[in-house]
Structure 1
């Protein structure tokens, strides 16, 4: 497998993506820090050109986190349809937490077959069922991803 070669333009893209997230979408830099789990001062120093992004010939972990999150926050999220986002959350719940369609259907108060149908064709169920499925899936995801209380 060929290793990806970074160039200066790639690094400019990350700064540009962060700028778009902060300015166009009004993401607070403190929010970006929490989402990416990168120290606020590190982000500010990086944006001011005071931080090296390479450590021992490898990209800094903080930079990699910012690269990932800034791609979505700068607009890529809009490239994924709302239905596909819900499908992704359901797949994540199943893979990561072993949550079944049956469990989700019980919480959403819809039939298991409705979820199966939705996963095959998002337009196969009513908007009301989509809404129940989406809000239930999002809340379950929130509960599982929530840090220790």
Structure 2
């Protein structure tokens, strides 16, 4: 069974056009997107061409990929770098059970610096934000399953 996927974003833009735009803007190949999302290139090409054999893929896999593309598109355009880092720090604290003390020690900062960053990122110097960002992003990478 071949189905034409005709979903669109909030602006009414068809999903395949959004996917095309993300690929062109960030120079991403289907192979790269496949590795980033853990989705098959065949599925990505089916979505890109606006035709997809839905019997081959679960709706949740398709939906998760579509959300991933929207995040790449809208997320990188509308979420500032401090907010992205704050999201990583929150994830490490909330989901990975890191303490602010632990993150501070890894980042060579004071615990209060981590708390201040979470309250107001601009309250820290650029150097401290950079140290926290690079450290927490590396910890996030290391902790991935």
TM-score band, normalised by shorter chain: 0.7 to 0.9
Q: Across the two proteins, how many residue pairs are aligned to each other?
A: 136
1:89 equivalent in structure 2: 88
Partner Cα separation in structure 2 for residue 72 and residue 95 of structure 1: 21
Measured after TM superposition, the shift of residue 116 of structure 1 is 0.5
* 2:137 maps to 1:138: yes
2:21 equivalent in structure 1: 20
Write out per-residue CA displacement over residues 101-141 of structure 1, whole angstroms, 9 at most, x where no aligned residue: 10010010000001111111111111110010000010000
* Structure 1: stretches of 5+ with no match in the other structure: 1-6
- Taking structure 1 as the reference length, the TM-score comes to 0.82
1:107 equivalent in structure 2: 106
Q: Secondary structure at the match of 1:74?
A: helix
1:128 equivalent in structure 2: 127
* Structure 2: stretches of 5+ with no match in the other structure: none
2:51 equivalent in structure 1: 50
2:79 equivalent in structure 1: 80
- Taking structure 2 as the reference length, the TM-score comes to 0.84
Q: Which runs of 4+ in 1 moved over 4 A?
A: none
Aligned-residue Cα RMSD (Å) equals 2.0
